[in-house]
A and B are shown apart, each in its own frame.
Chain A
Amino acid sequence: MSPVILYSVHVVLALLLAGAVFAPRRWRRAILVAAATIGSAAGIALAVAAAGDEAVWRSTTLGQPRGVIAGAAVACAWLLAGALGNDRTLGSAALVGLASSGVLLASLNDWVVPGLALWLASSVALVALLSQDELRVGALLAIGLSDLALVGAFALHALDDRVWTVPESLGGLPLGLALASLVVRSGALPLTGVWEALDSPAAPALPLFLGGPLALLGVPLSAAGPWLAVAALVAALGLCGAALAGRELSLSLLGSWPVWLSLGLLVAAPAALQAGALAALFAVTMVALCTATRGVARAAGGLLLGFLPPTAGWVAIVATAVPAFDRAGGPSVVWSLVAGLLLLTVAAGVALAARLARRSAHNTSEVRPTVAASVLLIAGLCLGLAPPSVLGLARDTLGDFDRVLSLSGAALILALVAGAIAYRRGAGRAGFVAPEVEATTATLVYSEDRADTAVMVGVAALIAVGTLAVVIYLAIEGLSYGFLPPSNL
């Protein structure tokens, strides 16, 4: 399928959804579900196409790892739009479509200026999405600051070397700015920023907030060095500890865990970028679905959040652990730390997964979110069981693949049988009460009482103007050089 169709289908869906706002109320939900299904399928198709041969269209290149990550992010966003939406959220879903096309075109762009312009366009759609129902000032500020940092990083890199292509590696201040941009936008900061979108019509934006920066900045950041991996893994473990220590399960705290973990994995082992990013996307989407799921999907969702076997997250952990242990034997203090921290993350993931699985059932549990969570779980399992080469890793990452597949198949079948028997036997077993945990989506929200919303919006607007000015300056500078590298002048 042509890349242009895969990029633009989301805009078409957005237009359809915008028009459907005027449709009779009884049709709207069906239209939403149909559009979300098509959008998800288009995202998956783009990811699959990217996993194959590279395809060039205008200034974009559809290929690994950017295309796979961006496609998965879009698929997850549509999944949330369909699962959590209702007949009053068609406008929000339309904005998801606009933002999706923007994220795809920006993160797959080869050139800095059009890439940044499209990135800002997608940010506008995301800001509109975040402003549905109520103004989420913390999230708006996060987007503004993140975009400013990203534009600053790319502008410094481009102007220093007169290189107008999207950087494959960064160093010094541009690297720091790029890292700050990813941290602020992707939800790595717990309880604040983009987590204000949780449990709201803006929730489908969460995978785009994470997937966009990972697709765009994952490759440049992967050369940041092992100390950053140590810092990210420590942050992940700290968040995990905080989430486990609380009597209530804070989803806006918990959601930052996969973000830091995937950052640590991709920096420690750049080959694990794709697997780690996909696992983080699935985990964040599961967190967004968490308040509305029930049954097996609710319990099994912990597998995705904890990066447990046999999901894609586990493959990423193994793919990172093996080279980390190899390098630790150097001997190397930093790689020993990475190796030790990775072992801790396995145990932390188990504890976190169990905590999530024991979350109290929500009164308003619905079928669609549960189905969406099940689809996500199946996708995570399929990726974990697929040849690791699909995720850009060596085929024997987990061992001889044919034997690993047979073993995993046997484990899966036995697990299903044991689960079915336990479910049936559980019906007649009195006295078993699963210890449950209350979940909360509360964030550190700016309110009228605590900060002047108008001032905060003004600050966000100023940041946006500044960001736009830098992009315009960059475009003018680029034009003055004909967007050519110094060697061609």
Chain B
Amino acid sequence: MAPTHAERSTLAVAAGARAGGLVLALGYLTGLVGGALAAAAAGLALITFGRCLRMDRIDQALAAAGLAVVAGALGIVALRWGSMELAELRSVQAVLGPTLLVGPETTAVAVTAAAVAATLALALWVAALPVRGLGAWAWTGLETLAMALALVTAFWGPKVLLGLEEVPGSEVVDSVAGWAAASAAVITLGIGGGLLARLLAARVRVAVMAVATLALLVAAGLIAGAP
């Protein structure tokens, strides 16, 4: 049976939200537009909204929880550096190194726990919407890229040195390659984990999301208690 007008409308809004969200997220995360991490999360929220329109109740809850954990992990990084500005997060990592590796030890452990929780949540977020067909895979790949860029920006990524005259070409290539490799690693974990998670029963996926949430809360506690 062909979809009704209402179902086609839902399809249209879902596609529109996902496309619009992708543009917003990539615009902020690639540095085309400067702004706060919260503004970049706008795109991720819209993408998740669009995906949720095509899910059943449990998957919808998992997708929203996945967004919450990823956003929470980004928030922990913002708390760690005392800033929500994307440019400041990139700058501070350019000087001190990736957030994951900068001490003190308790803080590094907390940030690592948040990164692990966010990666788990990303895999479950991907798994929430079954993917069928090349077009759907392309969308999912792009959406996972947006999520991955957000995590890489927060946990790993210094400035990409494009467009700076005084920087040697080799350093530019290094910085871009580093970003690409880190993003590819997160995408692989996200989509690979998502495919694996799809094989699990919904109850197990809910349990894994609960573990990710717990890890995030522990990380938040450690960051709050850090000097």
Residue positions of A touching B, CB distance < 8 A: 244, 294-296, 298-300, 302-303, 306, 308-310, 314, 317-318, 321-322, 325-326, 328-329, 331, 333, 336, 339-340, 343-344, 346-351, 353-355, 357-358, 361, 398-400, 403-404, 406-408, 410-412, 414-423, 426-435
Instruction: Tell me whether A295 and B9 are in contact (CB under 8 A).
Output: yes
* Residue B157 CB within 8 A of the other chain: no
B1 proximal to A (CB < 8 A): yes
Q: Is there contact, CB below 8 Å, between B35 and A329? A: no
Given A309-B42, A351-B52, A399-B28, A426-B3 contact (CB < 8 Å): yes
A336 CA / B61 CA spacing, docked (Å): 25
A351 lies within 8 A of B27 (CB): no
- Interface size range of chain B in the complex: 35 or more
CB distance from B134 to the nearest CB of A (A): 14
From the candidates A358, A399, A420, name the one contacting B36 in the complex (CB within 8 A): A399
B39/A398 in contact, CB under 8 A: yes
Are B19 and A418 in touch, CB under 8 angstroms? Answer: yes
Q: Is A351 a contact partner of B7 (Cβ separation < 8 A)?
A: no
- By CB atoms of chain B within 10 A, which of A244, A302, A433, A435 has the most? A435
* Inter-chain contact A412/B3, CB cutoff 8 Å: no
B32 located at the interface, meaning its Cβ lies under 8 Å from any Cβ of chain A in the complex: yes
Between-chain CB contacts (< 8 Å), 30 pairs? A294-B5, A294-B6, A295-B6, A296-B13, A298-B9, A300-B13, A302-B49, A309-B42, A310-B42, A314-B42, A322-B36, A339-B75, A350-B48, A350-B67, A361-B4, A399-B36, A400-B35, A403-B33, A407-B33, A408-B24, A411-B20, A414-B19, A415-B16, A415-B17, A419-B12, A420-B12, A427-B3, A429-B3, A434-B7, A434-B10
Contacting pair B2 A428 (CB below 8 A): yes
Residue of B nearest to A347 (CB): B68
CA A197 to CA B22, docked complex, whole Å: 39
Of B76-84, B99-107, B182-190, B192-200, the one contacting chain A is: B76-84
Chain B residues near A344 (CB, 8 Å)? 68, 72
Residues of B within 8 A of A410 (CB): 23, 27
Contacts of A418 in B (CB 8 A): 15-16, 18-20
Interface residue? B150 (CB, 8 A): no
List residues of chain B with CB under 8 Å of any chain A CB. Answer: 1-24, 27-28, 32-36, 38-39, 41-43, 45-46, 48-49, 52-57, 60-61, 63-65, 67-68, 71-72, 74-75, 78-79, 82-84, 220, 224
A296-B13, A432-B11 given; 4 more Cβ-contact pairs under 8 Å = A317-B38, A347-B65, A398-B36, A404-B39
- Cβ-closest chain B residue relative to A431: B1
Residues of B within 8 A of A433 (CB): 3, 7
Residues of B with C-beta under 8 A to A295: 5-6, 9
Q: How far is the CA of A350 from the CA of B57 in the complex (A)?
A: 13
CB distance from B66 to the nearest CB of A (A): 8
* Assembled-state Cα–Cα distance A206/B77 (Å): 41
B42 contacts A404, CB within 8 Å?
A: no
Q: A347 to B32, Cβ gap below 8 A?
A: no
Which residues does chain A contribute within 8 Å of B64, judged by CB atoms?
347-348, 350-351, 354
Check if B11 sits within 8 Å of A426, measured CB to CB.
Answer: yes
Q: Are A422 and B71 in contact (CB under 8 A)?
A: no
Query: A411 contacts B45, CB within 8 Å?
Result: no
Cβ-defined contact, B9 with A423, below 8 A: yes
Residue of A354, A406, A407 near B53 (CB, 8 A) is: A354
* Min CB–CB distance B80 → chain A (angstroms): 9
Whether A419 touches B224, Cβ cut-off 8 Å, given contacts A325-B79, A357-B53, is no
Are A435's CB and B68's CB within 8 A? no
* Given contact pairs A295-B9, A408-B24, A419-B15, A340 touches B36 in the complex (Cβ within 8 A): no
Smallest Cβ-Cβ distance to A349: which chain B residue: B45
Closest B residue by C-beta to A302: B49
Instruction: Please indicate the chain B residues that have their CB under 8 angstroms from the CB of A361 in the complex.
Output: 4, 6
Question: Please, which residues of chain A bring their CB within 8 A of the CB of B43?
Answer: 309, 411
Nearest CB in chain B: distance from A416 CB, A: 6
Q: Which residue of A lies closest to B220 (CB)?
A: A340
A115 vs B14: C-alpha distance when bound (angstroms): 46
The smallest C-beta distance from B73 to any residue of chain A, in angstroms, reads: 9
* Most-contacted residue by chain A among B8, B10, B49, B56 (CB, 10 A): B10
Decide: A321 near B24, CB < 8 A? Known: A296-B13, A343-B68. Answer: no
For B55, list chain A residues within 8 Å (CB).
354, 435
Contacts of A314 in B (CB 8 A): 42, 45
The 7 nearest A-B residue pairs measured at CB: A399-B35, A419-B16, A415-B20, A347-B68, A354-B52, A329-B82, A422-B15
- Selected contact of B2 from candidates A339, A430, A434, CB within 8 Å: A430
Verify A325–B75 contact, CB threshold 8 A: yes
CA of A321 to CA of B16, assembled, Å: 26
- List residues of chain B with CB within 8 A of the CB of A339: 75, 78-79
Residues of A within 8 A of B46 (CB): 308-309
Asked if residues B52 and A343 are in contact (CB atoms below 8 Å), the reply is no
**Contact (A435, B48) CB under 8 Å given A322-B38, A412-B20:** no
Cβ–Cβ contact A321 & B36, under 8 A: yes
Cβ distance A322 to chain B, nearest Cβ, rounded Å? 5
- Give A355 to B13 CA distance when docked, in angstroms: 13
Closest residue on chain B to residue A319 by CB atoms: B38
CA distance A419 to B21 in the complex (A): 13
CB of B11 within 8 A of CB of A434, answer yes
Q: What are the residues of chain B within 8 A of A406 when measuring CB–CB?
A: 33
Q: Would B24 and A310 count as touching, CB distance under 8 A?
A: yes
Contact status B13-A299, CB under 8 Å: yes
From A300, A326, A420, A434, give the contact of B82 (CB < 8 A): A326
Given A339-B75, A417-B19, A435-B57: A333 touches B42 (CB 8 Å cut-off)? no
A343 contact set on B, CB distance < 8 A: 68, 71-72, 74-75
Distance between Cα atoms of A350 and B36 in the complex (Å): 20
Residues A353 and B3 in contact, CB atoms below 8 Å apart: no
Known: A310-B24, A355-B60, A434-B54. A403 touches B34 (CB 8 A): yes
Query: A314-B42, A325-B79 are known contacts. Are A354 and B35 too (CB-CB below 8 A)?
Result: no
Can you name the residue of chain A whose Cβ is closest to the Cβ of B36? A322
